Amino acid sequence: MAQAKTLTAHELRKVLSNLPVNRYRVRNRLMLLLTHWAGMRVGEVAALRVSDVRAADGTVKPEIQLDAAQTKGKHARTVFVNDRLRKEIAAYLKTIPVRAADRPLFMTQKRSGFTANVLCQTLNGLYKHVGMNGATSHSGRRSFITTLASKGIGVRVLASLAGHRSIATTQAYIDVNDNMKRAAVELV
């Protein structure tokens, strides 16, 4: 089975600018960006609670502490949130009704929290809507890792950011492209 397509920054902008215009646009944008800008797994995004991203004083946390129950490998991990993503989270929080801290961050149209499967279908639908062939719910995570690798971030740091226990797993995510090869030969 082929791996999910990694998206360039241009392709991600295309997806974001062509999200369906409806009441779920801001929610869908943030769910997508959490995979692209934080490298989160779909199941981790689905498992987020309001308290995971919003501090007691109402500000957006710079780090998301995922407990073991929220992760694939059942190992707690920290997800680092860059400034751009913190602004996106803050914008989303302004659009939702005040929720108890233990409530799901993202609600479906049926007013329940997302399951990993439903979120997977939702993200796949967003890519399909734009005609992004080969892109799946895993594309954000692969793009996150590949983008950082192309900027020279070491595989150990990448593995830690991705929540991988083995660097071999992380290496399988890195999609080598012509720009990376061009930059490499310029170093000789």
Mean pLDDT of the 2-16 span = 93
User: CA-CA distances (angstroms) from residue 163 to 3, 6, 35?
Assistant: 19, 19, 13
Domain count, the chain: 1
In a domain, 107, yes or no: yes
pLDDT of residue 1: 61
In a domain, 62, yes or no: yes
pLDDT digits (tens, 9 = 90+) for 159-187: 999 999 989 888 888 888 888 888 889 88
Q: Which domain holds residue 43?
A: 21-116
2 pLDDT more than 80: no
Cβ atoms 156, 164 nearer than 8 A: no
CATH number for the domain harbouring residue 95: 1.10.443.10
pLDDT of residue 80: 97
C-beta atoms surrounding 174 within 10 Å: 18
Rounded CA-CA distance 119/52 in Å is 18
